[in-house]
């Protein structure tokens, strides 16, 4: 089953332009996204082939089965509530039955979690991106040796520097744990290599230092500290950074690099928009997705706001949401009985 099948069988209940064009944020380069609603033929609905959602290959056209739509509306899903609140000039087709589903029957205090909660997760993501852009990690991966230090003169020096200055190699070293300490080792050295020392690490990918059996009577030449916690943090950051590099949208990344603000400006524009929608819901008890501050939001998208300015605006909106949420007369949750009854009524009419 695909979109052409839905249209050939007249199964479409709603089709609307969504995204930037419905928000009033479209520019000459904006794509045209379509969101819609359909219902399944009665044999599919009662059979074993329930299909909740159908999209094209690029996911810029997506239709939701009427039951799935109501389920997500009851959960106050932002994307789905925005479909229901589509401006009239964006609606390309609407079956009269869709008028039974009104946004005010679904809006509830749950929107604080779904709208603001998602926006806050995007702010955290933006902070992570900011950190990645400002703190790039070299492709050449560090080894655990880079996190080892030799105690010297009431201080410490990097192990690699100590080895170089003393003409020693890590392969001829032997380590022994020091009791009642964490990460501290006595370091022994065997120039001839005939004592079977295992070296400090077996290979560059090692995640632990190696311990050796030291013959009785051998004297340590130094004491070494290995910062395993710092090494573990580095490994995690390294994986996340290079995973981000491999998956990032290069065109959008280059735009962000060009404006030099160290955050994903398009994503943050929509995050601010989402927070404004959440504020509006609790302030007015309604949802109007057509923005009133187009120029300001496009200014953010263009990278004309600093990272700190965007974060400050987000924080103020979050504080405002907290206030209006506390005095809102919206119910804690949508009325599941009422909205499910509406769904049943729609299905009975479609299948009669």
- Please report, for the domain that includes residue 338, its CATH number: 3.30.460
* Mean pLDDT, residues 244-263: 58
The residues, ordered by sequence, that sit 6+ positions from 12 with a Cβ below 8 Å of its Cβ are 6, 36, 37, 38, 63, 93, 95
Q: Which of 229, 261, 289 marks a domain boundary?
A: 229
Domain count, the chain: 3
The burial of 4, by beta-carbon neighbours within 10 Å (0-12 exposed, 13-18 middle, 19 or more buried), is given as exposed
Residues of the domain holding 197: 144-229
127 has a pLDDT exceeding 90: no
255 has a pLDDT exceeding 50: no
The rounded distance, in Å, linking the Cα atoms of 87 and 22 is: 7
Decide if 314 is inside a domain: yes
Q: Are residues 128 and 180 in the same domain?
A: no
Neighbours of 230 (CB within 10 A): 12
Q: E strands of the chain, at which residues?
A: 12-18, 33-38, 53-55, 61-65, 91-94, 148-152, 155-158, 173-177, 184-189, 222-226
229-234: long-range pairs with CB below 8 Å, 24+:
230/147, 231/144, 231/146, 231/147, 231/207, 234/142, 234/147
Tell me the pTM. Answer: 0.66
* Mean pLDDT, residues 267-275: 92
* Mean pLDDT, residues 76-92: 96
Candidates 293, 289, 273; CA nearest to 23 is 289
Decide if 99 is inside a domain: yes
List the structure tokens of 114.
């779904």
List the structure tokens of 49.
């082939």
Kindly report, residue by residue over 13-65, the tens digit of the pLDDT.
999 999 999 999 998 888 899 999 999 999 999 888 899 999 998 889 999 99
Decide if 242 is inside a domain: no
Decide if 196 is inside a domain: yes
Q: Are residues 294 and 194 in the same domain?
A: no
The residues, ordered by sequence, that sit 6+ positions from 72 with a Cβ below 8 Å of its Cβ are 64, 79, 80
Neighbours of 247 (CB within 10 A): 7
Q: Are residues 100 and 116 in the same domain?
A: no
Contact call for residues 238 and 141 (beta carbons, < 8 A): yes
Count the residues in the chain: 352
Say which residue the tokens 């090494």 belong to. 231
Q: Are residues 149 and 275 in the same domain?
A: no
* Mean pLDDT, residues 287-291: 96
Q: Are residues 125 and 258 in the same domain?
A: yes
Decide if 244 is inside a domain: no
Decide if 116 is inside a domain: yes
Q: Are residues 187 and 312 in the same domain?
A: no
Q: Are residues 127 and 90 in the same domain?
A: no
130 has a pLDDT exceeding 60: no
Q: Are residues 87 and 225 in the same domain?
A: no
Q: Are residues 79 and 153 in the same domain?
A: no
Decide if 190 is inside a domain: yes
Decide if 63 is inside a domain: yes
254 has a pLDDT exceeding 70: no
What is the predicted pLDDT for the residue at 344? Answer: 97
Q: Which of 198, 229, 260 marks a domain boundary?
A: 229
Confidence category of residue 308, pLDDT binned at 50, 70, 90: confident
The rounded distance, in Å, linking the Cα atoms of 270 and 310 is: 12
Kindly report, residue by residue over 136-153, the tens digit of the pLDDT.
788 899 999 999 999 999
Q: Are residues 119 and 258 in the same domain?
A: yes
Q: Are residues 2 and 86 in the same domain?
A: yes
Q: Are residues 16 and 46 in the same domain?
A: yes
Candidates 333, 322, 334; CA nearest to 283 is 322
């Amino acid at each position: 089953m695909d979109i052409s099948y839905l249209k050939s069988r007249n199964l479409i209940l709603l089709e609307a332009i969504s995204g930037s064009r419905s928000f009033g944020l479209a520019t000459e380069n904006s794509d045209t996204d379509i969101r819609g609603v359909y219902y399944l033929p009665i044999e599919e609905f009662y059979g074993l082939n329930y299909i909740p959602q159908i999209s094209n290959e690029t996911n810029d056209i997506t239709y939701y089965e009427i039951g799935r739509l109501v389920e997500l509306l009851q959960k106050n899903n932002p994307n789905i509530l925005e479909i229901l609140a589509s401006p009239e000039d964006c609606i390309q087709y609407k079956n009269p039955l869709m008028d039974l589903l009104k946004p005010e029957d679904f809006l509830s205090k749950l929107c604080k979690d779904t709208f603001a909660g998602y926006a806050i997760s995007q702010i955290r993501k933006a902070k992570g991106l900011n950190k990645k852009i400002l703190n790039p990690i070299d492709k050449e991966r560090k080894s655990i040796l880079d996190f080892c230090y030799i105690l010297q003169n009431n201080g410490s020096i990097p192990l690699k520097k100590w080895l170089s200055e003393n003409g020693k190699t890590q392969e001829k070293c032997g380590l022994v744990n020091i009791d009642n300490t964490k990460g501290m080792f006595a370091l022994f050295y065997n120039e001839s290599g005939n004592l079977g020392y295992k070296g400090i690490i077996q290979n560059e990918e090692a995640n632990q230092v190696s311990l050796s059996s030291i013959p009785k009577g051998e004297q340590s030449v130094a004491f070494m500290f290995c910062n395993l916690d710092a090494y573990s943090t580095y490994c995690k950051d390294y994986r996340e950074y290079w995973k981000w590099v491999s998956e990032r949208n290069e065109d959008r990344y280059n735009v962000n690099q060009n404006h030099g603000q160290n955050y994903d400006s398009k994503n943050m524009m929509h995050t601010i928009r989402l927070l404004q929608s959440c504020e509006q819901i609790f302030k007015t008890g309604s949802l109007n997705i057509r923005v009133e501050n187009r120029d300001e939001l496009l200014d953010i998208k263009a990278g004309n706001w600093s990272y700190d300015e965007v974060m400050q605006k987000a924080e103020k909106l979050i504080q405002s949401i907290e206030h209006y949420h506390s005095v809102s007369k919206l119910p804690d949750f949508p009325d599941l009985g009422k909205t499910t009854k509406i769904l049943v009524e729609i299905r009975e009419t479609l299948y009669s």
